[in-house]
Chains A and B, each alone.
Chain A
C-alpha cells in the first residue's frame, strides 16, 4: 500500500513536472518558437478539461447507479463537435474578429457592449461554477482519503481538510503564475494549455490502464465481460427517456456555455482549422474516456463490499485487486482532471470578473476617467489575481460548508443547468439579427432565477434554504409553485424539470423581449457584424469626429497594454500611414482597431467605455448610420441630441447617395449612348464593306447585280451621312448656340410645307391627311425652318409607322390657355405606355423593322428644337393612335385671321 508520504511525494513530483512544463512552454512561446504548442493536437487535448474529476471518478459511480445514462454527458458534446460547421465555426470566427475574452464578453459585445449584461452573465457563471470547483476539491480529497484509510500511517480526519487547503493554495499559485502573465486575455496561455494537454494524456492513460486491467485482467476478456455486464444489477435499471434527452441536450449546450470550455474552445483557439481536427479527435477522446466505465462499475459492484462508494471505484478497485501502482496512476488521473478544470475555470472566471465587474465599477468610481493617472494595467492584473484566489477560496468554503454530502454527479448537473441559461442569448445573438439587449437580459435573468428556485437552492437539502414544508407544499401553500413541480409537473426528475422550465421560459422571455424592444444603434451594428460574420471583412467603425490627440491614446494604451506593446501598436499604425514616429493620424479606423485591442485586455464593454471617455465625438458615424439607414426614422427614439445629429448626418448621407446615383446614371447613359452610336455607324458600314468586297472579288456578277449592290452601297453611305447630320444637328442643338431666325407666317403655310416635303416617304402606301384648314389660318412668329423640321419629322413618322390598314393622320390646331397647340394623331396602334417616356430619348427607336432606316434621333431633335424655340413637343396619350402635341412659343403667337 502506498503510504501517505509516498502519495504526497508523487503528488508533489507531478505538480513540479506540471510547473516545469508550463514554464518551458511559456519560454518557448516567448522566444517565438510556438511550433507544435499551437498544433491541433494540443488544442484537442486542451478541450479535455471537459472531463473533470466528476467525470473521472463520478462516471463510474453514475454508471453503477443508472446504467448507460452517464454516456449522455459525452454524447451531447460529441454532437456539437461533429456539427462544428454549423455552430462552432461561427462562434470561433466571431470571437476572433471581435477579440472576445469570455462568454460574458461575447454576450456583452453582441448586445451593444452592454456592461450590465456582462455583469449578469458573470454573476451566473460564478454562482454556477463555484460548486463545481468545490466538487473538484472534494473529489481529490476523497481519493486522498482512500489511501489514508488503507494506509498503516495514522492520518486523522482534519488532515483531509488540510489537504484540501493545500490543494487550493497550490492551484491558486499555478493559476496566478501562468494564467495572469499576459494582460491580453485574448493571447494564448501557452504554459497553461500545454500543462493541461499533458494532464489530458495522464487522465486518459490512467482510465484506459484501469479499464484494460479490469476487462482483460480481472474480467476475463471481452466475451466474459459482456456476460458479466448483462448479469449485473446495473442492467436492471431501465433507461429514462426524458433524462436521456435532457442530459444530452444539457451537456451539448454546456460545451458551448461553460466558461472554461469557452476559454479553451474559443478564446485559446489560435487557428480555425484546428476545429477540423478537434471535430473528430475530441469525440474520439470522449469515447475512449467512457469506454471502460461500465466494466469498471460492474466489476466494482461484484468485487467490492456493498458499502464501498462507487464514485471511487477507479481507485479502490485496482487497490482491492492488489495493483497499488495502478491505483496510484488512477489517483494521478483524477488529480489531473480536477486540477486542470479548476485552473482553466478560474482563469476564465477571473477574466470575466475583472472585465465585467471590477473594471466597470472602477471606471465609474473614478470621475476623472481612464485618461488621468492610475495604472489600469495594474488594476486589471491585481483584480484578476484576487479573483482567482477568491474563486478558489469560495469553492473551498462551499466544499467545507456543504459537507460534501451530495453525490458528485448531482452537483455537476446542477452546475450545467445554471451555465446553460446563457444558451438562448448566445445562439440568438449569433444567428438572429433581431435579438436585443432587453431580450437577452430578460432571458438570462429569468433563466437564472428559475434555476436558483427549481434546482440550485433546493440542492442544499431540506431546511437549509427552503424548508421541507415549502418544498412539499409550495411557498405559502401554493402547490403550483412547488420548486420541484412547477405548475403541476410533479412526475419529472428534478433536473429534467429544471431544464424544461428554465429553458422554455428563458427562450420565451428572450424572444418576447427582443420582439417588443428596440435595439440601440451600436447593438444593431454589433448584431449585423456578428450574425453576418462571414460576409464582413473589414470592421465598420464605431467612432468618428475624434477630437482626441494621438498622445492621449498612447498614454492610455501604455497603461493597459504595457509600454512596449502599446508603442509597437502605434508605431506600426504610423508606419502604415507613411509617418515616422509613434503618433499616427487618428482615423476612425485606427480608433476602432485601438478599441478592439483594448477589448482583448479588458473586455468589449469596458474598452468601449474607455474609448468613449477619451473621444468626445458622436458615438455613431455616418457609415454606421448608413448601415442602419433603412430604419432611420426609428433612430429618433434616442436622445434629442443624437436625434438631431443623426438627422443631419442622414441628410448628408442621402445627398451623397443621390449625387452618387446621378453620377452613376450619367455614366451609364454615356456608355449606352456610345454603344448606340457604335451600332448605328457600324451597321451601314457593314453592308458597305461586305458589298464592296463582293464587288471587288467577283468577276462573274451580272450587271444587274452589280448595279443593285452599288445602289445598296450608295444607300447605306447616304444613311451614314444622314446619321452624322442628325448627330451634328442634335449636338448643335444641345450644346452649341443655335441661331434662331424668327419670321412671320401663317401656320397653314408651314404645315403645307411639311406635308409636301413628306409626300415621298412611303409613297407607295395610301395615306390620308385630315386637316381643318380654317383653324390653321393663324399667324405665327418663330423660326419657320425649324418648326417645319419638327412637323416633317412627325408627319414622316406617321407615314412610316402607322400600321392601320387605311392609315390616316389628323392634324388639329387648338388654343390652350392662350397658346397654340398643333396635334398630330394617327390611327395606328400608338405607343405602349411604358415606352412613351422613352421615345424622345436619343436612339430610342422602338424595336420595329421598318424603323431600320432611321437612327432614332428624330424625336430627340424635335424636342431640342421646340425647347430652343420656347415651345414643347409631348406625347399625347389616349387618342386611339400615336398622338403628338406641339405647343408653339407663347409670345410669338398672334391672331391674324
Chain B
C-alpha cells in the first residue's frame, strides 16, 4: 500500500504533473487548490506527507503551514514546501515556521519523489 500525499497547489498544470508522476510510482495523491479545503479534508484524508505551494489564493502557503503546525492531530506531519519565487527569505521563513523541506520551482520530478520518500521514511 503506497503512502498518501496531500498536495496543495493552485496551478492546475503543475498539480496534474505531480499527481501523475507520483501516482505512477504507487503513491496515493489527494489534490486541493487552496489551503482552506485542504485543511477541512485533512482529517478524512489522513495523509502521510504534505506538499504545499507558497503562492496560494486567499491564504498563502505560510499561513496554511502555520495552521497545520498548530493542529493537535496533524501538527507533526512532514511538509515539503514549493515556491516559484526563489528567494532565500522564503526558505528561511518556511524553515522558521517548521517546514520539513523546501524546493524551488521548476523542480525535477525525481527530486520531488526522493524528498518525499525521505520525509515519509523518517516518520516510519
Which residues of A are in contact with B by a Cβ distance under 8 Å? 675-676, 678-679, 682-683, 685-691, 693-694, 697-698, 712, 715-716, 847-849, 852
Partner of A688, one of B85, B86, B104, B106: B106
Most chain B CB neighbours (cut-off 10 Å) among A679, A698, A716: A679
Closest 10 CB pairs of A and B: A690-B17, A682-B84, A687-B13, A686-B106, A686-B105, A689-B106, A847-B57, A679-B84, A685-B106, A675-B85
**Distance to closest chain A CB from B66 (angstroms):** 18
Asked if B120 is at the interface (CB within 8 A of a chain A CB), the reply is no
Docked Cα-Cα span, A690 to B21, in Å, equals 9
Asked if B18 is at the interface (CB within 8 A of a chain A CB), the reply is yes
**Distance to closest chain B CB from A849 (angstroms):** 6
**Distance to closest chain A CB from B16 (angstroms):** 7
Contact B57 A848 (CB under 8 A): yes
Complex contacts, A676 vs chain B, CB 8 Å: 85
Please name the residue on chain A nearest to B87 by beta carbon. Answer: A675
Asked if B118 is at the interface (CB within 8 A of a chain A CB), the reply is no
Please name the residue on chain A nearest to B21 by beta carbon. Answer: A694
Q: In the complex, given contacts A682-B106, A690-B21, A690-B107, what are 5 additional A-B residue pairs having Cβ atoms less than 8 angstroms apart?
A: A683-B11, A686-B11, A687-B13, A694-B109, A697-B109
Say whether, besides A679-B55, A849-B10, A698 and B106 are in contact (CB < 8 Å). no
Please name the residue on chain A nearest to B90 by beta carbon. Answer: A675
Docked Cα-Cα span, A791 to B24, in Å, equals 46
Partner of B20, one of A679, A694, A849: A694
Interface of A is mostly: helix
Partner of B57, one of A678, A685, A686, A849: A849
Number of interface residues of B (CB under 8 A): 28
**Distance to closest chain B CB from A25 (angstroms):** 55
Which residues of B are in contact with A by a Cβ distance under 8 Å? 10-14, 16-18, 20-21, 24, 33, 55-58, 83-87, 104-110
Partner of A678, one of B18, B21, B84: B84
Complex contacts, B21 vs chain A, CB 8 Å: 690, 693-694
Partner of B17, one of A679, A691, A697, A715: A691
Say whether, besides A678-B86, A678-B87, A852-B10, A683 and B57 are in contact (CB < 8 Å). no
Please name the residue on chain B nearest to A688 by beta carbon. Answer: B106
Docked Cα-Cα span, A884 to B14, in Å, equals 33
Contact A694 B84 (CB under 8 A): no
Contact B11 A852 (CB under 8 A): yes
Say whether, besides A679-B55, A690-B17, A849-B10, A685 and B105 are in contact (CB < 8 Å). yes
Say whether, besides A675-B87, A849-B10, A689 and B108 are in contact (CB < 8 Å). yes
Contact B108 A693 (CB under 8 A): yes
Please name the residue on chain B nearest to A716 by beta carbon. Answer: B13
Contact B106 A712 (CB under 8 A): no
Complex contacts, B14 vs chain A, CB 8 Å: 683, 686-687, 690
Complex contacts, A715 vs chain B, CB 8 Å: 13
Complex contacts, A682 vs chain B, CB 8 Å: 84-86, 104-106
**Distance to closest chain A CB from B36 (angstroms):** 13
Contact B87 A683 (CB under 8 A): no
Complex contacts, A852 vs chain B, CB 8 Å: 10-12
Docked Cα-Cα span, A694 to B11, in Å, equals 17
Complex contacts, A849 vs chain B, CB 8 Å: 10, 33, 57
Docked Cα-Cα span, A669 to B111, in Å, equals 33
Contact A686 B108 (CB under 8 A): no
Complex contacts, A689 vs chain B, CB 8 Å: 106-108
Contact A678 B11 (CB under 8 A): no
**Distance to closest chain B CB from A283 (angstroms):** 45
Contact A679 B85 (CB under 8 A): yes
Complex contacts, A683 vs chain B, CB 8 Å: 11, 14, 84, 105
Most chain A CB neighbours (cut-off 10 Å) among B21, B56, B110: B21
Complex contacts, B87 vs chain A, CB 8 Å: 675, 678
Complex contacts, B84 vs chain A, CB 8 Å: 678-679, 682-683, 686
13 A-B residue pairs with Cβ-Cβ distance under 8 Å, sorted by A, are A678-B86, A678-B87, A682-B105, A682-B106, A683-B11, A683-B105, A685-B105, A686-B107, A687-B13, A688-B106, A689-B108, A690-B18, A849-B33
Complex contacts, B20 vs chain A, CB 8 Å: 694
Docked Cα-Cα span, A635 to B56, in Å, equals 51
Complex contacts, B108 vs chain A, CB 8 Å: 689, 693
Docked Cα-Cα span, A128 to B108, in Å, equals 84
Docked Cα-Cα span, A741 to B21, in Å, equals 52
**Distance to closest chain A CB from B119 (angstroms):** 19
Docked Cα-Cα span, A715 to B10, in Å, equals 17
**Distance to closest chain A CB from B60 (angstroms):** 9
**Distance to closest chain B CB from A377 (angstroms):** 57
